[in-house]
A and B are shown apart, each in its own frame.
Chain A
Amino acid sequence: EAGVAQSPRYKIIEKRQSVAFWCNPISGHATLYWYQQILGQGPKLLIQFQNNGVVDDSQLPKDRFSAERLKGVDSTLKIQPAKLEDSAVYLCASSRGINTGELFFGEGSRLTVL
């Protein structure tokens, strides 16, 4: 079974530039999550999708972050414009259903904002 795929693995941009991250979940997993992990902290949920609908985006900074999962499969997370404090690893995860506790994570996309 193929795991959660993310790209790019690394991205360096200057502040005020934009960046996009892509995620392809495990086949058949209806629930997709984007987490932000800042160095020295635990992962923090940014947004959760159930199929192509948003379940929870309460911690997504909507003035600069956006995410979509148009066909209920892969997803894109965008930051525009980026700030220095957005430097983090962006982790995508998926699970079979919304009630499943076990999440399967991708390797993450490390963003550095200069």
Chain B
Amino acid sequence: DQQVKQNSPSLSVQEGRISILNCDYTNSMFDYFLWYKKYPAEGPTFLISISSIKDKNEDGRFTVFLNKSAKHLSLHIVPSQPGDSAVYFCAARAGTASKLTFGTGTRLQVTL
């Protein structure tokens, strides 16, 4: 049972344009959401997070939007840069002591 879904395995965006990565979840108990970025042969690194009490969180070029009624979150990267090319994982947690559940990832390719 895949509770966190990233339906787009890959995404290609031109440098300077906006990248939008999507994530859907099914567990209504999830109250904290995170995005991780992973380069080849490296472990995932934390990018940005959002609590369920908010609907937007911004950090520089990265903004995460949460739509609780639709059980959907998205990561916006503006402007996209070639160094943003990586696999992005969405993750969610139900309560402060519970484990993170990860999606399957979206591979972002930012082209020149």
Residues of A within 8 A of B (CB): 4, 33, 40-45, 48, 55-56, 91, 93, 98-99, 101-108
Contacts and interface: CB of A to CB of B under 8 A. Distances in A.
B103 A99 contact: no
Given A42-B89, A42-B104, A99 B96 contact: yes
16 contacts: A40-B104, A42-B4, A42-B91, A42-B104, A43-B89, A43-B102, A55-B97, A56-B99, A91-B44, A99-B96, A102-B34, A102-B46, A102-B49, A105-B43, A107-B43, A108-B41
A101 B44 contact: no
A43 B104 contact: no
A106 B45 CA distance: 9
Contacts of A106: 43
Interface string B26-61: 000000101010000111111001000000000000
A107 B41 contact: yes
A4 B49 contact: no
Contact of B32 (A101, A103, A105): A101
Interface of B: 4, 6, 32, 34, 36, 41-46, 49, 89, 91, 93, 96-97, 99-100, 102-105
Contact of A93 (B43, B96, B97, B104): B43
A42 B43 CA distance: 12
B96 A42 contact: no
Q: Which of A41, A56, A101 has the most CB of B within 10 A?
A: A101
Given A41-B104, A42-B102, A105-B44, 5 more contacts: A55-B97, A101-B32, A101-B93, A103-B100, A107-B41
Q: Which of B4, B36, B43 has the most CB of A within 10 A?
A: B43
A99 B43 contact: no
B49 A43 contact: no
